[in-house]
A and B are shown apart, each in its own frame.
Chain A
């Protein structure tokens, strides 16, 4: 597979160019290129670049969201071919994600979902206002490695603890790790409620998730 094509794939994600990303994915299929190669060597490095730029404050939400949309377009083209060939992406781990009961803030949680998914995690996003038992049920159903919980209000932060309790009740702890985040959440609070990981931002969440599943982060 040509370096030129891989480079163009990467750039299409960085540019958030949905049409270009889709066209390049089709081109890869027409040339008989292994879809996994296109994903892992073409598109994923693009979203990693975007994540790094976002983390460094050089890129902002609209551009990041466009990059994620471009990624989805490319994946939608490549997925059927992967199914046909009977190949699966090697995921770093399975993550169940959501915003706690009583809270419908979702931008931060969506960012984490985007970056985890782009980084190679299999993400099951439960959305917002999610009852604690639902996190635990889903974790059991998909055999999750990690449950990620977000709260944006000081009044809903206690919900993070309830999710950990629900996982305890189903005897999923300590095998299933818990990552918490959201504007009012601090490392101290995360430690206090017995969470396994905490991050201030989406890129940090990826690093924490990788550490928890035993994948070395770059840096």
Chain B
């Protein structure tokens, strides 16, 4: 049997085996490809397409993949994103070259080498009091230009009925937004030293995220299949904060946010969280996460795919697990191929797994390896699983 991409994804989300393991690529920043890698890929494929950036945001550097490339990569989903308010684009287009890109929150990307931008502007770095939160000029989440295109984009894809549709309003991640506002180390320290402030900041941000998410979902309606949110909570071998602190401060915020989303759409909840988050997986299940991403196999207990599948395979759809630390940038195409087979053999049986690179595909990933990844899914990802 051959399914459409959308059926393939929806079947695996039911924890049933579709015709093959679905592939998520190029649907948002997380599963995206950086521009230099995309250019090399197009050249190898002989595809003529414009160099567009997602969110029209060159400083982020992630390519908006053209449809031909997406098809060649066997991408089974398409993304619907929000936009910065129009004034943010106007202001940044008018700014002197190489100066900091400032977003609607007042945080920004600084160019540290020609063409290389990092989050370097943290407008609330020194804040430690609730008064400072109250005084801060927070962005207007009701600006209609943020979501003006969403209804049409989602409708068009839904009518086409070919690909799964993933809605990703940009970085509505409360914890990470707090890092952007304060700098990661400042905010982590404040979680310890100024707990009430840190909690109030997270709650303020979560409220704004929720407002924009409400507008996004009103426009997208039930045309989207998946809504992506997240917050990076893990490091290489442990969590950024203790499970106790997560449960006390952040989990209630995530739970509220997810309940809000689920009250407004039937779409599944896709939760992106980097690093070793194994010790929080029960919490994620409890608050309504449906899809866990990116399964960073280079990080601590996330390497144990057998255990992950055994304990959570029926509760969470797992998405990701194709290593970006070693395999994709430094492996040979054959090593990529064998790694994809290994991961599919472990996570694929019974459905509930979607292939994706762990992080954004960076400049240094050879195009041959990107093709090796997706072609290996065609080769080894067909159901019924041979390993069952």
Contact = CB atoms under 8 A, between A and B. Distances in A.
Interface of A: 16, 18, 57, 59-63, 65-66, 69, 101-102, 104, 106-107, 110, 129, 153-155, 183-184, 186, 200-201
Contact of B241 (A60, A153, A155, A184): A60
Contacts of A154: 324-325, 329-330, 362, 364
B136 interface: no
Given A102-B113, A154-B325, A183-B298, A66 B193 contact: yes
Contacts of B324: 154
A65 B364 contact: no
Contacts of A57: 237-238
Nearest to A156: B116
B326 A186 contact: yes
B203 interface: no
Main secondary structure of the interface of A (DSSP, over half): loop
B189 interface: yes
Contacts of A16: 192-193
Given A60-B238, A62-B245, A153-B362, A107 B193 contact: no
Contacts of B362: 153-155
Interface in B103-131: 112-113, 116, 118, 120
A154 B152 CA distance: 38
A207 to B, nearest CB: 15
A142 B315 CA distance: 56
Contacts of A153: 362
A101 B324 CA distance: 21
Interface in B294-326: 298, 324-326
A184 B326 contact: yes
A200 B236 contact: yes
B185 interface: yes
A18 B113 CA distance: 38
26 contacts: A57-B237, A57-B238, A60-B238, A60-B242, A61-B188, A61-B240, A62-B189, A62-B192, A63-B192, A65-B188, A66-B192, A69-B189, A102-B112, A102-B113, A104-B112, A104-B118, A106-B184, A107-B184, A107-B185, A154-B362, A154-B364, A155-B364, A183-B325, A184-B298, A200-B237, A201-B236
A186 B330 CA distance: 12
7 A-B pairs closest in CB distance: A62-B192, A66-B192, A62-B191, A184-B325, A60-B242, A154-B329, A65-B189
B241 A62 contact: yes
B63 interface: no
A183 B240 contact: no
Contacts of B237: 57, 200-201
Nearest to B328: A154
Contacts of A129: 112
B192 A65 contact: yes
A102 B116 contact: yes
A154 B326 CA distance: 8
Contacts of B364: 154-155
B241 A65 contact: no
Interface string B359-372: 00011100000000
Contacts of A102: 112-113, 116
A94 to B, nearest CB: 24
Nearest to A183: B236
Interface in B210-244: 236-242
B295 to A, nearest CB: 16
A65 B192 CA distance: 8
A63 B242 CA distance: 9
Interface in B259-301: 298
Which of A65, A104, A154 has the most CB atoms of chain B within a 10 A radius of its CB?
A154
